[in-house]
Amino acid sequence: MDLSVIIPIYNEESNIPALYDRLREVLDPMGLRYEFIFINDGSRDKSLQLVQTLALRDERVRYIDFSRNFGHQIAVTAGLDLSSGEAVVIIDADLQDPPELIVPLYQKLQEGYEVVYAKRRSRQGESAAKKTTAKLFYRILASITNISIPVDTGDFRIISRKVVDALKRMPEQNKFIRGQISWIGYRQTFVEYDRAERAGGETGYTYRKMIRLALDGITGFSDVPLKVATVSGFLVSGVAFVVMLYTLYARFVSGNYQPGWASLMVSILFLGGVQLIAIGIIGEYIARLSANVRQRPLYIISDTNIPTTSPPDSQLR
Ligand code: UDP
Ligand code: MG
C-alpha cells in the first residue's frame, strides 16, 4: 500500500459524496495503491450509511465506526492505528482542505521529507472571532513551547510510515497530533494553500471542543503556565510583603492610619484571585495526569471493515 487517506467524519453526510469524487479524481491519475479510511466519530446523520455504501462498491474504502463521539484527534489516531500505507494523508471531510493539494504534498514527501504539512495562507468563510482566536492561539503556543509547532497549520498533512510508527508509540490520552508530529522531528517542510469555506453542513468544532484542544496543546507541550503560576505567586507575595511593612509602619510608628475597608477588600480579592488561577492551572495538569493514569482505551470501535489480526495498539494499552 502506497498511500492511506485518513478522513474523520462527524455529521458530514452533505460532503461525503463530493469528497469521495474529488479524492478519486486526484488519486486515480497518480497511479498509486491507496486506501481511504473513514472514521465515523459518532455521527448522528447518514454519514455511516453513505460510507458503507461506498465500501460495497469500492474495496479501497475502509471505515471505522466508533461507539460514540470521541473527538477529532482521537478519530485521526484510530485511522493512523489501522492504516497500512507507506505514506499517510490526514484530511478534513468538509473540503476545507483541497484534495488537489495531495499531489504537491506527495511530491515533496518523495523528495526525502518525512512530514509535509499544509500551511494556511488564508482562511475563508470562518468567523472573525474564530480566525483571531486561532491566530492568537498558534502564536501563544509557539512562544511557550520548546518545540517549534508551525503556526497556521491544522492536521492537513502527509506523513511517512516512520512518523506513523513513532506516533503509535506516544500513548497520551489528550492528543494534540500536530504538536506530537513536531515533537517527533525528522525533516519537515510545508506547502502553502488557501483554505476554502466548508462545502456543506456545519462545523463539528464547538467552542468547547476548541478550548479543550487548545488546553491539550498547551499542557501537553509546555510547563510555562505552571511557571507563570509560581512567578506570579512570588510577585504577589512580594507586593503583599511591602504593603505589610507599610501597614505596620502606619500603625505603630506614624500612628496615621485609617480604618481601611477598601484596601482590605482589594488585597483579599486580589490574593484570592491569584490563588484560584494558580490552583486552576495546576488542576488542568492534574486532570490530564489522572486521565493518563487510568489507562483507558482511547476509543471503542463498534464496527469496521478493516481486517485486524490483533487488536490495535491503543486498544490494548
Ligand atoms: N470531526 C470529528 N469529530 C468531532 C468534530 C469534528 O471527527 O467531534 C471531524 C469533522 O467531520 C471534519 C474534521 O473533524 O472532518 C474537522 O472538523 P470541522 O470542519 O468541524 O472543524 P473546523 O474546520 O470548523 O475547525
Ligand atoms: Mg472544517
Report whether residue 154 contacts ligand 1, using a CB cutoff of 6 Å.
no
Cα gap 163→89, rounded to integer Å: 12
Q: Which atom of ligand 1 is nearest to the CA of 10?
A: 11
CA of 203 to the centre of ligand 1 (A): 6
pLDDT digits (tens, 9 = 90+) for 100-120: 999 999 999 999 999 999 988
Instruction: Say which amino acid occupies 199.
Output: A
Strand order through the sheet with 61-66: 188-195, 115-123, 153-160, 87-90, 3-9, 34-40, 61-66, 301-304
Helix (H, G, I), strand (E, B) or coil at 46: coil
Residue 313 clears pLDDT 70, i.e. is over it: no
Q: Which atom of ligand 1 is nearest to the CA of 209?
A: 8
Cα gap 8→92, rounded to integer Å: 7
- pLDDT for the residue numbered 317: 44
What the block records as the C-alpha cell of 151 is 503556526
Rounded to two decimals, what is the model's pTM?
0.80
* pLDDT bracket for residue 312 (50, 70, 90): low
- pLDDT for the residue numbered 55: 93
Element of type H or E holding 189: strand 188-195
- pLDDT for the residue numbered 42: 92
Q: Please state the φ and ψ torsions of residue 223, each to the nearest 5 degrees.
A: -105, 5
Q: Which atom of ligand 1 is nearest to the CA of 154?
A: 25
pLDDT digits (tens, 9 = 90+) for 119-132: 888 877 777 888 88
Cα gap 266→214, rounded to integer Å: 32
Ligand that comes closest to the CA of residue 154: 1
pLDDT digits (tens, 9 = 90+) for 237-281: 788 778 878 888 887 888 777 777 667 777 787 788 788 888 888
CA of 287 to the centre of ligand 1 (A): 24
Q: Whose CA is nearest to atom 19 of ligand 1?
A: 203
Nearest of 221, 243, 77 to residue 137 by alpha carbon: 221
pLDDT digits (tens, 9 = 90+) for 175-221: 999 999 999 989 999 999 888 888 888 887 888 888 888 888 888 88
- pLDDT for the residue numbered 169: 93
